[in-house]
A = this chain, B = another copy of it.
Amino acid sequence: MPMIRAEFISGKSEEQKRELIEALTRETARVLGVREESVWVVLQEVEAENWGVAGKRLSDR
């Protein structure tokens, strides 16, 4: 049943996204003691202009 949601700045490669899903699934199943088949992972890519830290958009830094 675990649901893992990963939000990060868009621009990562297909290979990185594939590996991130695999790694987050493996570690979640291992630590929580559940089957990998029961783990969902959703990647949410966010434009730098839509992510602010300390009041500034990452696209403006």
Contact = CB atoms under 8 A, between A and B. Distances in A.
B21 A57 contact: yes
A43 B3 CA distance: 10
B20 A37 contact: no
Interface of A: 1-9, 12, 14, 16-28, 30-34, 36-37, 39-46, 49-58, 60
A39 to B, nearest CB: 7
Contacts of A45: 50
A55 B28 CA distance: 10
B57 A28 contact: no
Contacts of A26: 55
A51 B1 CA distance: 9
